[in-house]
Structure 1
Amino acid sequence: MPDHSSFDPRFSQPGHPPATTTEFEGVRSLHLGTSWEQGAMRLSCPDAIELEYVQMMMAWLLFQAASPRHIVQLGLGSAALTKFCYRRFPDARVTAVELNPNVIAICRALFALPPNDARLDVREANALDFVLDRRNHGTVDVLQVDLYDEQARGPVLDSVEFYQGCRDCLRPDGIMTANVFGEVGNYDKNLAAMTDVFDAIAWLPEVHDANIVVIAFKNAPQIDFSLLYERAAGIRRRLNLPAKKWVEGLKEWMRDQQA
């Protein structure tokens, strides 16, 4: 069974859910004072992405030929995406927006999140404020959205206003990936809001306790599966991510839409 961490005042600032951890078979998991897993890190590979659905949040790689200049993560989680993008895309700026200071503190102390520097900006802020701020509009190549509270019933931001702000932050060829998890009604609500705002959306088959990753495009791409498989092979070689499964998931999604 996992070993539960003891209460640590460093990660229990009042006014926000406390950040706690469990460890099992070499994997440290993040919790917000409940049993729901908010992220994970394999202790022997702290910069790798451990959870399958979090790996799928990188599916934007299939559609961006150029290296991104600015990657933004809304919701820090265990910092897996933030660390991975910071390490593996050295020419990109990486911004992470997290409302809970306890999450930022525990990621710095126990999840190998490096300090801010010229390329990395982990900031304590509200994701809605970030996407509505006109100074951020048109500045982001990749937006990765994974926003959950301690109850994990559904994304804490799911309105048309929020997703419109996400779209506004993207450059013309920008892509958003978003994790949609929780009670059944949340799927339809979020997908409807994204459909209202984005030029095109697609989603991958659910994994890891019903997480579904949606890919949303500011401007719809032309889908060439032979090119996607070619890119998937390159992603596997360079980044050790199972991108072929993402292409197969997209094919399955297209078949379902046409049925």
Structure 2
Amino acid sequence: MTKAAKSAPARRAQPALPEVQFADDGVVRTLHLGTEWVQGSMLIDKPYDIELEYVQRMMAWLLFVPAEGITKRHAMQLGLGAGALTKFCHKKLRMRTTVIELNPQVIAACRGWFKLPPDDARLHVRLADAALAVLDATLHGTVDALQVDLYDHEAASPVLDSADFYADCRRLLTEDGAMTVNLFGRSSRYEASLERIAAAFGESAVWAFRPTREGNTVVLAQREASRPERADLLARAADIESRWGLPARKWLRVFSPVAP
């Protein structure tokens, strides 16, 4: 979720599950829920790359795990958006990938307009409420990378943002797993959200990026806190860039632990 470059005309109140729309300029295709707010995007000529900067940063959990063995790990997205994270984890990283999405139109749009592959042995897109899905005990301790980007059509603040919700998210993670969260919205209070994440994960386990130009702040929380040496992070960042083309060395200039 981020803000479109151009403003839109005044909008009427939207239903609980608004109509899904897309727009493109011949280079980038964007997904909308009846407003100017961009719910996700895709490079038309490179549909499995990640176009938005904040979405790239949602992959920062890669800094904390060895590149070898990635294909044996499990990624989970709460909120499908335009499917950028899902496609990257499934197609580029070859991971087992699970998605929780509340709006059936979003799933249909991603399959029709955004090159989301059909379900297979490694990909499972579930029509479900994320608030309930995180309570599923069969998923506890199975998720290596949990990516949370939950916004409605108005994008005022995260739909789920309580300490209890973040505690439920932590229970999903493997021992060396991590959660990344997009914090954005005109009614969102970053400091309050950060406090709730720290309450669930422990302050020493929480890292944060500086905000993007559009105002998206990505926060990362580890299941178990670790503080890799700078040299190790730089080496992993270089490897991530070489293998998958993500700007990981740039991340390290704007990414740091919340607690000293």
TM-score by length of 1: 0.89
Relative to structure 1, the CA distance from residue 208 to residue 86 in structure 2 (aligned partners, 3 Å threshold; closer, same or farther) is: farther
Equivalent position to 2:170, from 164, 167, 170: 167
Contact kept, 8 Å, 1:225 with 1:247, in 2: the verdict is: no
Relative to structure 1, the CA distance from residue 241 to residue 104 in structure 2 (aligned partners, 3 Å threshold; closer, same or farther) is: same
> Which residue pairs with 2:243 in the alignment?
238
Q: Kindly indicate whether residue 226 of structure 2 is the aligned counterpart of residue 225 of structure 1.
A: no
For 1:189-204, what aligned pairs fall within 5 Å after superposition? 189-199=192-202, 200-204=205-209
> Which residue pairs with 1:179 in the alignment?
182
For 1:10-49, what aligned pairs fall within 5 Å after superposition? 16-49=17-50
Mapped to 1, the partners of 2:81 and 2:190 lie a distance apart of 20
Contact kept, 8 Å, 1:233 with 1:243, in 2: the verdict is: yes
> Which residue pairs with 1:87 in the alignment?
91
> 1:15 Cα deviation (Å)?
5.3
Contact kept, 8 Å, 2:29 with 2:44, in 1: the verdict is: yes
> 1:23 Cα deviation (Å)?
1.1
> Alignment RMSD, CA only?
1.8
Q: What is the count of residue pairs matched by the alignment?
A: 244
For 1:62-81, what aligned pairs fall within 5 Å after superposition? 62-65=63-66, 66-67=69-70, 69-81=73-85
> 1:184 Cα deviation (Å)?
5.6
Q: Where do 5+ consecutive residues of structure 1 fail to align? A: 5-13
Q: Kindly indicate whether residue 153 of structure 2 is the aligned counterpart of residue 150 of structure 1.
A: yes
> Which residue pairs with 2:12 in the alignment?
none
Q: For 1:38, what is the secondary structure of its paired residue?
A: strand
Equivalent position to 1:138, from 133, 138, 141: 141
Mapped to 2, the partners of 1:122 and 1:142 lie a distance apart of 16
- Give the aligned residue type for 1:155: P
Contact kept, 8 Å, 1:152 with 1:182, in 2: the verdict is: yes
Q: Where do 5+ consecutive residues of structure 2 fail to align? A: 9-14
Contact kept, 8 Å, 2:78 with 2:148, in 1: the verdict is: yes
TM-score by length of 2: 0.89
Mapped to 1, the partners of 2:200 and 2:246 lie a distance apart of 29
Contact kept, 8 Å, 1:155 with 1:181, in 2: the verdict is: yes
Higher helix share: 1
Equivalent position to 1:247, from 242, 252, 258: 252
Contact kept, 8 Å, 2:156 with 2:187, in 1: the verdict is: no
Query: Structure 1 runs of 4+ off > 6 angstroms?
Result: none
Q: For 2:145, what is the secondary structure of its paired residue?
A: strand
Mapped to 2, the partners of 1:145 and 1:71 lie a distance apart of 11
Q: Kindly indicate whether residue 62 of structure 2 is the aligned counterpart of residue 61 of structure 1.
A: yes
List per-residue Cα deviations over 1:53-96 (Å, max 9, x = no partner).
Answer: 00000000000114251100000000000001001222x21001
